[in-house]
Structure 1
Amino acid sequence: MISTRLSVIDEIFLRTHRGYGIPIALQGIWRTTETVGREELGRVHDELAIGQLGRRVGKSHIPGARLRWDISSESLPLDYSPDAIDDIIGWADAQADVRLDPQYGPGWRLTAAPLTHGGTVVSLVCSHALADARGLIDAAAQAFSGTSTPVRPAGSDARDAFATVLTVLVRCIAATARLWVSKKARAELRAFTTADTGGIAPHRARQMHSVIMDIDAAEWDSAARRMGGSANSLFVAVVAATMSELGSPAVTVDIPFRTGSGDANAIAMATVAVRGDDSPAAIRAACKAAFGKPVGAPAGYPPEIVQLLPHRVAAKLTSNPGRGEVLCSNIGDIPDAVHALGPHRSCGLATRAIHPNPAGELATIRMSTYISRMDGNYTLSLVCTDDALVGSPAELTAAVRRALAPQNLAGKPW
């Protein structure tokens, strides 16, 4: 069950809507060979409005209380284009180019369009503050199946303020005491307070270049086993090889993983350094070690301390959930509930994050990549915001194909 209060990670994504970083919207793209009617999508839209996306950020007047989730059914209307489209990715890229605001609303949008060669494409986007990728998929699954459940109302602000301040105070006292006896703790704190972007030069995010490919799952898994890796480490290896093809032979990669915390963004972040020629087996070992040391507050200090600070100060301390220049997010298996909408079965589903109206914001993530599995295919999505790295979708597609070739894998672009 999703928490009624925003976590530290939730607030990081909220601040991107307030000018502290590049705004991030999560997107699910669903397509079918059959025409889906407006009435069917209207039902899904109504379900989404009363489900886990039907909420907004509420602010307490009691000092120390964390931001809360309030129930809100306000939404942008369903947008079903009368004009058939041919370029699915180009159309999908534009679907978040509206004001998505998880605090003042609306924070999500459902759109659809007929395809030139028959069928329908559907896009569901939401602010990353509202949900992580699995949360977005779960919300869609409930809406497709008509089983949406509303969010719980938050409890007492006074009680939350007391618990938050007490937790921060006790853990800060313990962490400060530990500094007197632990050289390791002092080194952690010193490294944190003097850290920059880890040598990664921020770039101005001006334009997205996106690629989506389907790859046979059996062939992918076979290639991973053959090289002593896993499906996930092969994913990281292919992305690293793609970056190498684009002129970056060594990169730092942020890998989010689920924590089961119940927060809107129930994720932690591990960071690994990889090269384009690293094997899936070597990457698997590096990832295993990194998962044991996720990015977080240093020296035992409680991460919740930033929730008691002004936005500007909190933003400086938590400018990014990770430390990498590339993001590799494995969404996993897509649940059966979103394989079909009524009688209409999906012929493809992609999940990714995109950046609505980046307006030249500074960003350290140069490439965001995502992989999910459905109906015998892995779907690989790549989004680049660094014009110095990629100049066109065609260039990015060619680089991915070259990265797949040594594994005897071939991708089918959308």
Structure 2
Amino acid sequence: MTTVNRLTADDDLFLKLHSLYGNALVNQLAWRFDEPLDRTLLDRFHTQLATGFLARRVRRARTPLARPYWLPATRSLPLSWDSTPISEDEILDWYFAQSRVDFDPTTGRVWRLSAVPTTTGGTLVSLVTSHVASDGGAVLFAVGDALTRLTGDDLSASSGRRTAARTLTEATRSPSSGRLVGQAPRHAVRANLFDAGRQLRAVAKGIRAAIAARAVTEPDRNPRPDTPPLALPPRWSPADLVVQLDLAAWNAAAAAHSGTTNGLLIALGAGLLGRSGRVGDTADIRVDIPHSMRTPDDPRANATTGLPIAVTYRTGHRIDLPAVRAAVKKAAIAYRDPATTPALQHLQPLQMVLPRFVLHRFARTAKAPECLCTNLGETAQTVADIAGHRAAAVLMRPVVCTNDTDMFRRVEVGISLSFTTDGHTITLAVTGADPDYFPTRTTLRTLVTAELESWGLTPHFW
């Protein structure tokens, strides 16, 4: 049964950041097909997405302190279809260009599906989503659900029970339409007053927990070095790469140094930050590791927490993989217990009720992660097949969008890595978002090549 689905503290924070910075950060699910895909198929895929879990919009509550809630969207951005084929060396630029989109969480325009043919006869497909309305887990669930319904339409059409050309009006009557997204409260005033009371109790509980956990600390981030800035244009696009590697070779390298698959990913991120000169010798780099909290039939747009660990960088040496493994284990155990969870985590209910101008002031002085490492494993393979067409590669990554060059320096953003695999090949997305330490894609590629070679790994770049 669909119920009222209030925004979480993470949803609320991303919504406030959207109002301040716009689409500074989006998520991208990207498919690379070696075969052509018909536009009609993608139109039908778009229709299923437009009536599923991603199709949500924010409705603000009129009662003070009551949380906004999600409603099924009634609008979506149309499929972006470019009929002009692109060449191999234009692929990365095309994927990045899809991040240039204006989202509006209040209308439900929070995702865009795009596609383009390649000169080699393949097809590139991109789904860019607003972080306000979905984290990576929500995107994978929504796409998997849409693909299941798309396949179901194909089977129904082939058996003659109904046509595959399903209209949007018909689609909105599907049991999946609005499923888990939420509905408006039946008695709005009463429901919102009740929620406002719950929020006040949550704030009080959070403050008490924060006081109890005031001695709990987490790794500090390194301040950005005060070096002369490079001569760059006023607006800048972060350097991005996609590299493919052999999974067996990756795991062999990790095992040879007493590490794990995930540990080597973290080591690679920390090593790249150190090689760039962004941190110095013996620096303890803060690495943030996204960890999904999503449960079955979870209605939340964002259900991810971050595990921060400290990784020591030593110039000319590989990162210590056993130390990384121990740090990850310690952080995971700590975040399961409120008593060992940092105080700031307990104050999320307070964040939701603070006036917008106060949060905007905090946001303007907040810092971005210096190193973010996301390991999606084989989860993206659940959406690799679109109606019988199997993608040669699937990639999921955060995209740091084009913005003011000085803004990147002010928030001190560093580097992010996103890891996916099909069980044989790793597809690794790397983004260097510090304009003075990763000024160009060529600079980033040189650093990535050197770091991978130090582990005995051979990269194959897109």
TM-score class normalised by the smaller sequence = 0.7 to 0.9
Corresponding position of 2:418: 370
Query: 8 Å contact 2:263–2:324 — kept in the other structure?
Result: yes
Residues 62-114 of structure 1: CA deviation (Å, up to 9, x unaligned): 12211111111411111111111121110011112121222244111111101
The alpha carbon displacement at 1:221 in A equals: 2.1
Amino acid at match of 1:47: Q
Corresponding position of 1:332: 377
Amino acid at match of 1:220: W
Query: 8 Å contact 2:377–2:421 — kept in the other structure?
Result: yes
Corresponding position of 1:125: 128
Corresponding position of 1:42: 43
- The 10-residue stretch of structure 1 (132-141 or 195-204) with the greater mean CA deviation from structure 2: 195-204
- Whole-Å separation in 2 of the counterparts to 1:4 and 1:140: 20
Cα distance 1:406–1:46, how it changes in 2: closer, same or farther (>3 A)?
same
Secondary structure at 1:61 match in 2: coil
Corresponding position of 1:281: 322
Corresponding position of 2:182: 152
Does the alignment pair 1:387 with 2:387? no
- The 10-residue stretch of structure 1 (114-123 or 6-15) with the greater mean CA deviation from structure 2: 6-15
The alpha carbon displacement at 1:16 in A equals: 2.3
- Whole-Å separation in 1 of the counterparts to 2:455 and 2:221: 33
Relative to the length of structure 2, the TM-score reads 0.79
Cα distance 1:149–1:215, how it changes in 2: closer, same or farther (>3 A)?
farther
The alpha carbon displacement at 1:25 in A equals: 0.8
Query: 8 Å contact 2:23–2:101 — kept in the other structure?
Result: no
Find the partner of 1:218 among 237, 248, 266: 248
Amino acid at match of 1:93: F
Residues 330-381 of structure 1: CA deviation (Å, up to 9, x unaligned): 1221355422222321111111111344244343322222111225112110
Query: 8 Å contact 1:215–1:379 — kept in the other structure?
Result: yes
- Whole-Å separation in 2 of the counterparts to 1:275 and 1:6: 37
Amino acid at match of 2:258: G
Cα distance 1:164–1:89, how it changes in 2: closer, same or farther (>3 A)?
same
- Whole-Å separation in 2 of the counterparts to 1:201 and 1:10: 32
Query: 8 Å contact 2:26–2:399 — kept in the other structure?
Result: yes
Residues 241-277 of structure 1: CA deviation (Å, up to 9, x unaligned): 1222211354221111011263211111121222343
Corresponding position of 2:304: 267
Q: Which has the larger radius of gyration?
A: 2
Corresponding position of 1:232: 262
Cα distance 1:78–1:64, how it changes in 2: closer, same or farther (>3 A)?
same
Find the partner of 2:102 among 84, 99, 104: 99
The alpha carbon displacement at 1:49 in A equals: 0.4
Identity of aligned residues (%): 28
Residues 117-146 of structure 1: CA deviation (Å, up to 9, x unaligned): 220000100101111112212222222232
Corresponding position of 2:158: none
- The 10-residue stretch of structure 1 (246-255 or 150-159) with the greater mean CA deviation from structure 2: 150-159
- The 10-residue stretch of structure 1 (218-227 or 89-98) with the greater mean CA deviation from structure 2: 218-227
The alpha carbon displacement at 1:198 in A equals: 6.3
Query: 8 Å contact 1:253–1:327 — kept in the other structure?
Result: yes
Aligned positions, number: 407
Secondary structure at 2:397 match in 1: strand
Query: 8 Å contact 2:206–2:349 — kept in the other structure?
Result: no
Amino acid at match of 1:273: A
Cα distance 1:158–1:268, how it changes in 2: closer, same or farther (>3 A)?
farther
Cα distance 1:3–1:138, how it changes in 2: closer, same or farther (>3 A)?
farther
Does the alignment pair 1:258 with 2:299? no
Cα distance 1:186–1:42, how it changes in 2: closer, same or farther (>3 A)?
closer
1:8-407 matches, cutoff 5 A: 8-20=9-21, 23-86=24-87, 87-146=90-149, 149-150=177-178, 151-155=181-185, 157-158=188-189, 161-170=192-201, 172-173=203-204, 185=213, 187=215, 199-200=223-224, 206-249=236-279, 250=283, 251-260=285-294, 262=298, 263-276=300-313, 277-294=318-335, 298=343, 301-316=346-361, 324-360=369-405, 361=407, 362-407=410-455
- The 10-residue stretch of structure 1 (134-143 or 79-88) with the greater mean CA deviation from structure 2: 134-143
Relative to the length of structure 1, the TM-score reads 0.87
The alpha carbon displacement at 1:35 in A equals: 0.3
Residues 21-75 of structure 1: CA deviation (Å, up to 9, x unaligned): 8721100110111000000111111011001111111111112211111111411
- Whole-Å separation in 2 of the counterparts to 1:117 and 1:199: 46
Secondary structure at 1:19 match in 2: helix
Query: 8 Å contact 1:48–1:139 — kept in the other structure?
Result: yes
Query: 8 Å contact 1:206–1:385 — kept in the other structure?
Result: no
- Whole-Å separation in 1 of the counterparts to 2:31 and 2:319: 33
- Whole-Å separation in 2 of the counterparts to 1:319 and 1:374: 39
Query: 8 Å contact 1:141–1:337 — kept in the other structure?
Result: yes
- Whole-Å separation in 1 of the counterparts to 2:277 and 2:269: 13
Query: 8 Å contact 2:26–2:130 — kept in the other structure?
Result: yes
The alpha carbon displacement at 1:406 in A equals: 2.5
Amino acid at match of 2:332: F
